[in-house]
Structure 1
Amino acid sequence: MTSALDVVLADRVLTVVRAPRIPDPRALADALAGAGIRCVELTFTTPDVLAAVRAAAGSERAVCGVGTVLTGDQAAAAIDAGARFLVTPGIRAEVAGVAARHGIPVVMGAFTPSEVLAALDLGAAAVKIFPARALGPGYLRDLRGPFPDTAFIPSGGVNAGNAADFLAHGAAAVTAGTDVVAPDDVAAGRWSVIASRAASFVRSMN
């Protein structure tokens, strides 16, 4: 099975879904994958997210993971539900430990150089720079100096207007959020709208 991280790095993008409900998680995952965003991060901020992960994991084209993972118990539950990668908003040693025991990559949230080091020490497969909007694409270029081999994935404030800049300044991939998966569109099951926005986002990266 192809590693989730390999898919993220190949596509140079993943998407994070934050919505009050996901009426058909597999249809959502298929719509995004068909438009060029194969890695789909559902989050613990969505009610009953584990059921959504189980459904989305049935997609043959998408790679489903879980984000906003804060505890070891959440990490284990997400993996049991079929998550192929985990994402944290900050440094979470318990999550890293569970991911390592299961051979699942974790993208750990960080912002400062010290936090980047802590994430790498815990075995993060990639480091999510969050919130990316705070300092912009130039900050990725600065981080690449001391961390030339680290896969940075900016999140928070990345959109079709700046994704290419983040990639040009050293991001290994970018995170598409509400610019692609608006909560209202997800809750209403507007898969064609989401697919169109995903395709536009992918085009903007080049």
Structure 2
Amino acid sequence: MTDLLGELRRTRILAILRGVPARHAPDLVRALQGAGIELFEVALSDSHGLPALRAIRAAFPALTLGAGTVVTPALARQAQEAGAAFLVTPHLAPDVNAFARAQGLGLLAGALTPTEIVAAHAQGSAAVKVFPAGSLGPDYFRQLRGPYPHLPLLAVGGVDASNLGAYLQAGAVGAGIGGALTRTDWSRPDWSALAHTAQELVARARH
């Protein structure tokens, strides 16, 4: 099993690819890798998800690649068959978490409240995906560190270069970043702009 927590602590950024056409997905990964991003999640919330996941896995057999927005065990199985090494949920989904444990897949379980966060960790989440982080801000993470100093938290939702540092300073082990890394016209992708954004994020993560 991938050491997800170790990789998150080392790289600090999980790139979330949502709405990326399969024909462009490997090129996006290549561009983001060139900027220093190593962890990738393909969201399965639209028709692009599974084809993009398959295309990336075929192009990068050794990549640390997960599937996101996994809300049912059936979708979890499809994700595993498409090449996902770890699963990410948007909310506490005990049946998906159990599937990940049974199949030896990595897990980043979604949660928001303290009760959900503790439950997600107990159900095998390598780091708990606190979503939507942007609605509560870095101070929420700072406050959670009081009673849960050793519980690894991943900030997801509303994180970009302007606030990434604040979440890390508040105690998050890393951040899942989607929109900032996929915002382009997919009929003619601007690879250099996407790579520049990724470079800026990687630089912020290292400070």
TM-score, with normalisation over the residues of structure 2?
A: 0.91
Residues 25 and 4 from structure 1, CA distance in 2 versus in 1: closer, same or farther, beyond 3 angstroms?
Answer: farther
RMSD over aligned Cα, in angstroms? 1.8
Residues 100 and 173 from structure 1, CA distance in 2 versus in 1: closer, same or farther, beyond 3 angstroms?
Answer: same
Gaps of 5+ in 1: none
Query: What amino acid is the match of 2:18?
Result: R
Structure 1 position 8, deviation (Å): 2.4
Residues 92 and 135 from structure 1, CA distance in 2 versus in 1: closer, same or farther, beyond 3 angstroms?
Answer: same
Residues 61 and 8 from structure 1, CA distance in 2 versus in 1: closer, same or farther, beyond 3 angstroms?
Answer: farther
**Aligned mates of 1:186, 1:32 — CA distance in 2:** 16
**Aligned mates of 2:4, 2:185 — CA distance in 1:** 26
Residues 136 and 24 from structure 1, CA distance in 2 versus in 1: closer, same or farther, beyond 3 angstroms?
Answer: same
Contact 2:14/2:41, CA 8 A, preserved across alignment:
yes
Aligned to 1:53: 53
Residues 143 and 16 from structure 1, CA distance in 2 versus in 1: closer, same or farther, beyond 3 angstroms?
Answer: same
Once the two structures are superposed, residues 131-190 of structure 1 have per-residue CA deviations (whole angstroms, 9 ceiling, x without a partner) of 1111111110111122112110111111101101100110001111212221x3456433
Once the two structures are superposed, residues 20-68 of structure 1 have per-residue CA deviations (whole angstroms, 9 ceiling, x without a partner) of 6342222111211221111111111231422211211132674221100
Aligned to 2:116: 115
Aligned to 1:193: 193
When structure 1 is superposed on structure 2, of 22-31 and 160-169 the one drifting more is 22-31
Aligned to 2:8: 8
Contact 2:20/2:48, CA 8 A, preserved across alignment:
no
Report matched runs for 1:93-104 at 5 Å.
93-104=94-105
Contact 2:110/2:131, CA 8 A, preserved across alignment:
yes
Contact 2:20/2:52, CA 8 A, preserved across alignment:
no
Gaps of 5+ in 2: none
Residues 46 and 193 from structure 1, CA distance in 2 versus in 1: closer, same or farther, beyond 3 angstroms?
Answer: farther
Query: What amino acid is the match of 2:95?
Result: E
- Percent identical among aligned pairs is 37
Structure 1 position 4, deviation (Å): 3.8
**Aligned mates of 1:63, 1:121 — CA distance in 2:** 23
Contact 2:17/2:40, CA 8 A, preserved across alignment:
yes
Residue 121 (structure 2) pairs with residue 134 (structure 1):
no
**Corresponding pairs, count:** 205
Aligned to 2:173: 172
TM-score, with normalisation over the residues of structure 1?
A: 0.91
